[in-house]
Amino acid sequence: NPLQGAQFVLAAHRISQLPADQGAEVAFAGRSNAGKSSALNALTNHKGLARTSKTPGRTQQMVAFSLPPPTQVDGQPPADVRLIDLPGYGYAKVPLEMREHWKLEIDAYLHQRRSLRGLVLIVDIRHPLKEFDRLMLEFCFATQLPCHLLLTKADKLSRGQATQALATLRKQFAAEGLHATAQIFSSSAGTGVEEARQAVMTLLRQ
């Protein structure tokens, strides 16, 4: 597993507190409770790495994790390869002020972060493409930031339903001119984990 051995670096309340903007990083974004932190843990094979919670809006920080030396990205010093867990978005019980803060901060991060190589967009397979997800996809398209979408919690659907959800999503992408790779995923069942690891590595190598 190329993402094995990820380590917590820091949690930031604003982008100025993130690690130096050099090397390569991939960010995990998605609505509150979609399963971002669980996906990070599954991909890095480290259960307690990112805090997960039944309560939506748990991650109210940008959390940076570094990947160890074996995860060499061509030409980059190994210490400068990171994964970033972005705060969940769209949960009404998070105070408005906080939501506004993160809206601005995520927007600034996506626009300004030079080491950002790509976005992993985490979407609950039962609730595909809400407003926030569309915003993220449109942003990626506009700035030509590569995006890989994980339709997660696939264990909540039958295999047939999950395959259908992916096919519907791909049709929507084609119809709306959106560009992202997408796959079925489940942190709890381990579905699609290897495929997602390869996708993250591909993003890091951009």
Q: How far is the CB of 32 from ligand GTP (least distance, A)?
A: 4
How far is 183 from 195, CA to CA, in rounded Å? 8
Strands 62-66 and 81-85: antiparallel
Other Cβ atoms less than 10 A from the Cβ of 72: the count is: 15
Burial 45-58 (b: 16+ CB within 10 A, else e): ebeebbebeeebbb
Near ligand GTP by CB under 6 A: residue from 109, 186, 200, 203? 186
Q: Which of Mg ion, ligand GTP, none is residue 93 near (CB under 5 to 8 Å by kind)?
A: none
44 near ligand GTP, judged by CB under 6 A? no
Q: Which of Mg ion, ligand GTP, none is residue 152 near (CB under 5 to 8 Å by kind)?
A: ligand GTP
41 near Mg ion, judged by CB under 5 A? no
Q: How far is the CB of 41 from Mg ion (least distance, A)?
A: 10
Q: Which stretch binds Mg ion (CB under 5 A): 29-37, 107-115, 117-125, 186-194?
A: 29-37
Other Cβ atoms less than 10 A from the Cβ of 205: the count is: 14
155 near ligand GTP, judged by CB under 6 A? yes
How far is 140 from 192, CA to CA, in rounded Å? 23
Distances in Å between the Cα of 103 and the Cα atoms of 16, 44, 90, 97, 164 are 15, 27, 9, 10, 32
30 near ligand GTP, judged by CB under 6 A? yes
For residue 203, give both structure tokens: 């993003």
Q: How far is the CB of 139 from Mg ion (least distance, A)?
A: 20
Q: How far is the CB of 187 from ligand GTP (least distance, A)?
A: 4
Q: How far is the CB of 159 from ligand GTP (least distance, A)?
A: 14
**Interface ranges with ligand GTP (CB under 6 A):** 30, 32-38, 52-54, 56-59, 88, 152-153, 155-156, 186-188
